[in-house]
Amino acid sequence: MMSDFSCSVLVIGAGIAGWTAALRAIEHGVDVLVVDKSPGEFGGGNTLMTSGSFRAAGKNLKSAPQALYREVMKEGVAYPELARAWADHCPASVDRLRGWGVELADGPAGGLLLEPRTSISLSPVYKRDVGTNVLRKLRASFIQRGGRYAGNTEALRLLIRAGCVSRVVAQSNGKSLEIQSKAVILTTGGFSANKEMVAEYIGRHAHECKLRGSPNDTGDGLRMAMEIGAKAVN
């Protein structure tokens, strides 16, 4: 069957996680396509609503990864794999964001977070429309490196071939299409705007809470992954 689009890596969801994944992939020399169901020029999700701070995995981002890992794990409530990823990659990730044009400045610690913690706040230049400016910077870096982006394109279903996801069924402007890809990365965020999922996974009355995030966070990636056998945790 012919596909409407093909690429080496398909990233579904164009928030900060999606653009970061796409930029890392394209830096390795592969053909990358990013799709997002929102109609804007650079996607968004909850990134559009950020107040402008990042949480980093250590009191001192230059500390040894093993020391950071031990600090995160000492309370006994963290997932080891997640804690290890934070400790090993957080400093380099902050450096990459700066390299892609995102302006960052050191800020005070804040919020309820696994200790130790550091807050990295966006520079004053982003005080207005913080998330929009971050996404604009990341999208520009991605396009400059030869990446492709398709907005107003909603992924609907993952198709399996030989045990791997090889195609994605999507729709754009009411038209059904297929995207063939050697690898698919899901960065579609959570499900805070999906009342059924909120009631099922958080609590039967949780969906009555006022939505504080993006209306596009409807759990699409989680749903598609679980439909092909992925196990949901936490």
DSSP codes joined into one string, 173-233: TTEEEEEEEEEEEE-----TT-HHHHHHHT-TTGGGSPP-S-TT-S-HHHHHHHHTTPPP-
Is the pLDDT at 77 greater than 70? The verdict is: yes
Q: What is the pLDDT of residues 27-72, one digit of tens each?
A: 999 999 999 999 878 787 778 776 666 656 445 566 678 888 888 8
Q: Residues 193, 198, 203, CA angle at the centre, nearest 5°?
A: 150
What does residue 45 show for φ and ψ, rounded to 5 degrees?
A: 65, -145
Is the pLDDT at 138 greater than 50? The verdict is: yes
What is the per-residue pLDDT for 37? 94
What is the per-residue pLDDT for 204? 84
Is the pLDDT at 1 greater than 60? The verdict is: no
Report which residue type is found at 138.
L
Separation between Cα atoms, residue 23 and residue 39, nearest integer Å:
21
Between strands 32-35 and 148-150, the pairing is: parallel
Q: What is the pLDDT of residues 88-133, one digit of tens each?
A: 887 788 889 889 998 876 655 433 232 334 445 544 444 446 678 8
What is the per-residue pLDDT for 211? 82
Separation between Cα atoms, residue 168 and residue 158, nearest integer Å:
5
Q: Which two tokens stand for residue 144?
A: 């400059």
Q: Which domains does the chain have, with CATH numbers?
A: 5-46+145-227 (3.50.50.60), 50-128 (no CATH)
> Per the omega criterion (within 30 degrees of 0), is the bond before 116 cis?
yes
Contact status, residue 138 vs residue 178, Cβ threshold 8 Å: no
What is the per-residue pLDDT for 27? 96
